[in-house]
Structures are given as structure tokens and as C-alpha cells.
Amino acid sequence: MSRAAGSGTEEHLIQIRADSVTLEGSMAIPEAAEGICLFAHGSGSSRHSPRNRYVAQVLQEGGLATLLIDLLTAAEEEADKRTGHLRFDIDLLARRLIGATDWLLQHAETERLDIGYFGASTGAAAALIAAVERPEAVGAVVSRGGRADLAGAILSRVTAPVLLIVGGDDLQVIELNRQALDQLPGEKRLEIIPGASHLFEEPGALEAVARLARHWFQQYLTSGAG
């Protein structure tokens, strides 16, 4: 089943078997795409998140394919709404993300595409761990308001270029991202969006996030930057 994504690119609903469960996702592949961005949601979010769907649309308009996937099953999400424990199970989220990555590497439509991760909140830590586990496959990582610090000691093993984006008013997360930045050994950058809060709900904030992410992914996943 498919429907038109906001950019005019056809969006397909897919199912991926990973970590002994079936995950649901939405994939869009623009014509002549060279890279695909796999979204790692966290903290109670999902592939239906308006913020991440907006960023995905901007990436598609930049010629990048996208896969927004729920790293928790519907039953797990219901349980997590009550307890909040699964959204902080970074190892579980990373295993699911690695499973989705392996699916992309084997799927006929995506096996030729370079892979990038767009991680939000706790999903950013999962993305960094998965990038270490699949270093040959993952070409870039972008974190939006992410808890990169939760990746722990693994940060020192990340080889993919990493862009950390944080709202200027999100003071605690800024400090945590600065600490994480110091531990990352490779190409890295911290971008602070002035006047933006944790969810980037202020006018123009999310647009700035999307532009920065698109440029980062175009720089590292495609043959030409835009």
C-alpha cells in the first residue's frame, strides 16, 4: 500500500522483521536518490510525528530517500505510555535500528543507497550505537534535540560524521551534547538554534533543523552537496 508523501514522492507502508518483532514503517524514495535517511524516534514519538515527517519531506525534496520506522510495536508503545521504560532502553532501540539497517542493505530498492540516521531524543543514542555496529553501512548521523550522551563509552568508537542540533533554550541538553561532542573522535559539529526549545516549536526553528540535516546528509551520502 502506498500514498503520496508531502514532497510528491510516493510513500510506501512497509513491515520489517527485527529483534524478533515486526516493525512498521513509511518509506519514500525520490527518483535518482543516492542516500536514504533512517529515522530513529524516541521518548514516546513514532513515525507519525509531525516534526519528523516535516524533516523527512524536506530531505525528500533534497533528493534523499527516507524511512520513518516505529522502533516499538503497538503493544510496546501502549505499555511504554504507562511506564516510560522502553523509550530509555537504548540497547533495545539500537537492536531494532540495526535490524532495519540490515533490511535496507538487503532490500532491492535500497541496497545501493548510502544510509544515514536521523535520531531524536533517546533515538539519537540508539543511532550512534547502531552506527558503531554497522560502520561500513552508515555514512552520517544527525541528532535533533537528542540524548547522544546516553550512548556512553561507545561515543569514542563512532566513525560516521555526526551533526548534533540543539535548541538554544534547551540548556541541559546543550550541556549534555557538548559533553558527547568532546567524546566523538571523527567529523562532528554542534549546531545551536537560537531561541528554540527542546521540541523546536518556535517559528522557523524546525525549518532550520531540516535545512541543516539536509545539507549534512547531502554532503556525506550523495555525490554533491546542496
Residue 112: exposure state from Cβ atoms within 10 A (0-12, 13-18, ≥19): exposed
The model's pLDDT over 130-187, given as tens digits with 9 standing for 90+, comes to: 999 999 999 999 999 999 999 999 999 999 999 999 999 999 999 999 999 999 999 9
**Mean pLDDT across the chain:** 90
CA distances from 114 to 31, 130, 134, 205, 223 (A): 15, 15, 12, 27, 11
Residue 78 has pLDDT above 80, yes or no: no
Contact present, 117 and 131 (Cβ < 8 Å): yes
Per residue in 18-34, pLDDT (tens digit) is: 888 999 999 999 999 99
pTM comes to: 0.92
Q: Tens of pLDDT along 55-67?
A: 999 999 999 999 9
Q: How confident is the model over 98-119, as a mean pLDDT?
A: 96
Q: Which of 74-78, 89-93, 175-179, 219-223 has the lowest mean pLDDT?
A: 74-78
CB 51 within 8 A of CB 62: no
Residue showing cell 520513518: 68
Residues 6 or more apart whose CB falls under 8 angstroms from that of 93 comprise 40, 42, 71, 87, 122, 123, 125, 126
Rounded CA separation 68/52 (Å): 8
HSE-up of residue 41 (Cα within 13 Å, Cβ side): 25
pLDDT of residue 46: 65
What pLDDT does 6 receive? Answer: 47
Which helix (H) or strand (E) is 224 found in, with range? none
Give the pLDDT confidence of 35-56 residue by residue, as tens digits: 999 999 865 556 767 888 999 9
Name 126's Cβ contacts closer than 8 Å, sequence gap at least 6.
40, 42, 71, 90, 93, 94, 96, 97, 119
- Which residue did the predictor score with more confidence, 192 or 10? 192
> How is residue 138 written as a grid cell?
552508515
Residue 11 has pLDDT above 80, yes or no: yes
Query: What's the CATH fold of domain 2-221?
Result: Rossmann fold (3.40.50)
- Spatial distance between the Cα atoms of 39 and 124, rounded to a whole number of angstroms: 9
3-state SS class at 15 = strand
pLDDT value of residue 188: 98
> Is residue 47 a contact partner of residue 24, using CB atoms and an 8 Å limit?
yes
Pairing of strands 138-144, 162-167: parallel
In this predicted model, what pLDDT tens digit does every residue of 216-225 receive, in sequence order? 999 999 865 4
Confidence of residue 206 (pLDDT cuts 50, 70, 90): very high
Q: Fill in the DSSP letter of residue 137.
A: T
Confidence of residue 1 (pLDDT cuts 50, 70, 90): very low
The predicted pLDDT at position 3 comes to 39
pLDDT above 70 (res 99): yes
Distance, in Å, from the CA atom of 1 to the CA atom of 38, rounded to the nearest integer, reads: 20
Residue 204: band (very low, low, confident or very high) from pLDDT cuts 50, 70, 90: very high
Question: Which amino acid is residue 121, in one-letter code?
Answer: S
